[in-house]
Structure formats: C-alpha cells, structure tokens
Chain A
C-alpha cells in the first residue's frame, strides 16, 4: 500500500504555490520561476481500478459541480463524455485478449493529463487564461478565459470543454487548491483501491515500477508506464497492463503530441502573418515616396471635355 497522505490540520495553511511559481502563462512572455518546485504527479493504476466512479463523485463534490441527469444508452460511461461539469470520466472497454482468450475489462479514468508541454496553453490567445505552475500543474484561470475554444484545438487528448452557461473552458485542475495546502486531489482521496495515488513525480515513477514488476510477474509482459515523451511527459500518468497498445484503453493516444497544424498556426503563421501585412503596407508607403501620387492632369480633363462634346 502506498502511504496515504495525512489529513490536514484544522487551522488554515499558507498556499504552497501561487502566481510567483508560474513557468508558463498563455499568450504572455514571462520569466519562469527561477526555482522549480518539486514536480507532482497523479498515478492512475488501471490494473487496480474497479470502475466504481468514486473519483467522479469526489470530483463533482470537491469542485462543487452538478452534472445533468443523463440518459442510459446501455453503456457504462456516465455521463457519456467529459463535460464542462465532469472533469473526469471512467471509460470502459471490453477487450478480448487474442493471446489468452480472456475477456478483459479495461477501465481508464479520463481527464486532463497535465502535460509538461501543454498544447492548450500554446493555443490559448488570452493572456493568463492558462497557466502552468512550476510543480507541473496546468490550470485554467477562468476570469481570463474568453471561451474561444482554441484550447480544444491545442489539446492532444481532447479534454477541455466549453460551458454553454458561461462560455468558459473547464477541465481537471489536479485539485490545485488541495495540492497547494499539501493535500492530494479529491479523486485520489476517494479511490477505494489506491488505483489513484498522488505524490512527487519521482515517487510516482518508483511506485509505478513496483506495480509494473508485479503485473509482469502475473503474466502481463507488456505492462508499463504511460508518461508520453511527445508532450515531454505528463503529470497524470497511467500504469497500463498493455502499455504497448495504449489505444486499447478507449482510444488513449499512442503517441500524443501537439498537432503539427497547431504548431504551425501558433509558430510560423503568427509571425509570418504579421510580417506579411507590415511588408505590404511598407511597400505601399515606399512606392508612394518613390513614385508619388498618380494625379489627373489638366490635359486629362480637357480630353474628357473634348470627348463628352459641347
């Protein structure tokens, strides 16, 4: 068992990180915090998940969210997808393993992965609407969000959702408010099987190693850690029994990275576009200075009069 995080003291505690600990801020040039805090991570051990949805409930509870009553269409997912209120969602896959002939129930807790290289933040046009703290948490700052949906285009995991109520983007915060006072995320606290554990990223990697060894000893030869290098690693990681095929787990991206389209849009286009406009305007100015105005002459007026007749 992973040692549980002790309950907090009753008296208020100073927040352990805040605005001074930013390493990235959307649409802004900032000097990253000189010293990085210890990087944190949530580890989701898919092999230990029983699909009880306690994490979903805890998430709603802690973040004071209410999900609409949905419709049963004969699937386990409830709600059917992530929503502006449901920041985490259990996704269920029935997988018939061709090697063993066993039916495996692969249950993955979906939600923000807190990428080290966050595509949402890269795509966001509103200064300070998305921030990344030096401990790795990627957070949306709603008073700065304009609801454009660019974060959706930037995200390699299809996580952010725009609220139809206030037109702002929502996703898992990794319970940054709880982590700031030394607690783990609400989902982790509620998980009855320790399928969700929380700690420093190094601790989580070590713990994952132990879990992977255990899984391998039980015949899951491809068990492994999901900490995708395409986004420079994530602060939410999975232990997968089939780490060679992440896609089995309700379409978890095999090799996630920020889409090249988004990179091109937010890179080349942004600078080349401004340059092109300034160049065209500059060319016009230059032309006017060199060639001067194209003026109608008195001769032209006389010719027009001659043509128009008496």
Chain B
C-alpha cells in the first residue's frame, strides 16, 4: 500500500550543479542533536554504573554521586527530545510492503547494489527499524528508569518491582546502544548522509541513489 506522499514539510529540490535537496529543517536538526547529545551522555553515564571497569567514566560528570543525580535528568531531556522527533518523523516511517522486499534483499543492501532494490521513499526499511526500535526502547527506558530513580520515586515501588525495573533498564539500554551504533555506522558508511543532519541538505545524486522515490515525488511536486 503506497502512501500519499513521501515528502515531509520543508523538503525541496534546488536545481543546479549538483542538484541540492533539502532533507531536514533547522528545527528538526536542532531537535535531533539535542536528542543525540542526550543519548551519548546517557550511554556514557549509564555504562559507568553498569560495569565496574567503566566506573571511571563518572569522572566526566563530576564523580559518582553527580553521575547518579544527573543521569535521570538527561533521560527526561532525551524522552522529550525523542518525542519531538517522533512527532516529526513517525508518518514517513510507517511500514510499507516495499520495506519487506527491501529487507528480503538485505544482501544487496550490505553490498551496496542498490539498483536491485525497490525505490525507497524518505526512509528505507533499515532506517524505519532504527526509528521504531528506538521509539519502543526509549519508552521502556523512561518507564523502567522512573522505577530506578531512587531519589524521587524510591518509595512508590516495591523492592521486587525495582529489581525488575533495573534489569529491564539495563537490557533496554544495551539494545538502544546497539541500535545507536547501527544508526551512526550507517550514516558514516553511506557517504553524503551526515550533511542531511548538519546542514540540512544532501546532493541530488545521494537522493537519487538512496531515496529515489522521495526524489521523484519532490521533483514532480506531489
């Protein structure tokens, strides 16, 4: 089932040499980098308390007690930051039939044989999986995180509930960090991607190669 449009507000094509395509608005980029910075800080401070060999990372936050105090607040920022991204991006991340075809040809994906893949809209199946897994994991993390936030919520949960919360929090965090690694790696591997989130635009060639359906719709002014 095809969506009405693959185009988000702010996306635009500019003719020239090379063709330039606007992919993310200034608002979206600021939103993204606030979320990104929070996630990195959360990963570092969380890992510091996750494995003793990484405890020295607490030094970056001004010691153990500060790390313990700051981590959950950064989590609150991450939650609202990601909520903003979710509201912006969820529609174009809805799963479509062509995403299944894309996934079945994962071999062509990892070997960069994109000519064998169905034409992709604004997001491919891999990006959608990153988006949805992060969405689910961040909800799990904020809910379980409140259960572990001893300073303010310690009295609201039984010890057994807190044990479950801390285990779920740890597992979800490991998964989120793994998804984050995939996200960052993909952005590095597929050259020309990072400018989408730094300057907000990509080249026409990048759009043609990786998100042709999106480019076609932009050009046809749908």
Contacts and interface: CB of A to CB of B under 8 A. Distances in A.
A305 B204 contact: yes
A149 B161 CA distance: 13
Interface stretch (B96-104, B121-129, B188-196): B188-196
Interface in A38-78: none
A27 B110 CA distance: 40
A126 interface: yes
Interface string A132-167: 000000000000111111101101001000100001
B159 A152 contact: yes
Contact of A297 (B188, B209, B215): B209
Interface centre among B111, B114, B150, B192 (most CB of A within 10 A): B150
B44 interface: no
A149 B162 contact: yes
Interface in B29-65: 49-52, 55, 58, 63-65
B191 A27 contact: no
B62 to A, nearest CB: 11
A294 interface: yes
A291 B191 contact: no
Given A125-B55, A167-B151, A291-B110, A304 B181 contact: no
Nearest to B216: A307
B52 A273 contact: no
B189 A288 contact: yes
Contacts of B150: 147-149, 152, 162
Interface in B194-220: 203-209, 215-216, 219
Interface residues of A, number: 53
Contacts of B182: 280, 284
B173 to A, nearest CB: 8
Contact of A277 (B13, B160, B174, B191): B174
A280 B174 CA distance: 11
Interface string A277-310: 1001100100110011111111011111101111
A276 B179 CA distance: 11
B167 A304 contact: no
Interface string B162-182: 111011001101100110011
Contacts of B65: 145-147, 167
B181 A144 contact: no
B204 A308 contact: yes
B143 interface: no
A265 interface: yes
Contacts of B189: 284, 287-288, 291, 293-294
B160 to A, nearest CB: 8
Interface in A107-146: 125-127, 144-146
Q: Could you tell me the dominant secondary structure of chain B's interface residues?
A: helix
B52 A125 contact: yes
B55 A294 contact: no
A296 B206 CA distance: 6
Contacts of A294: 112, 114, 189-191
B111 A150 contact: no
Contact of A296 (B52, B69, B160, B209): B209
Interface string B124-158: 00000000000000000000000010110010000
A270 interface: yes
Interface centre among B174, B203, B206, B208 (most CB of A within 10 A): B208
Contact of B110 (A145, A259, A287, A309): A287
A261 interface: yes
Given A148-B150, A152-B150, A294-B189, A300 B209 contact: yes
B203 A280 contact: no
Contacts of B171: 269, 273
B18 interface: yes
A52 B160 CA distance: 32
Given A259-B160, A308-B13, 8 more contacts: A28-B52, A152-B159, A162-B151, A277-B177, A281-B185, A293-B191, A294-B112, A301-B204
Interface of A: 27-28, 125-127, 144-150, 152-153, 155, 158, 162, 167, 259, 261-262, 264-265, 269-270, 272-274, 276-277, 280-281, 284, 287-288, 291-298, 300-305, 307-310
14 contacts: A27-B55, A125-B52, A149-B148, A149-B150, A265-B166, A265-B167, A269-B170, A295-B192, A296-B203, A303-B208, A304-B18, A304-B204, A304-B205, A305-B17
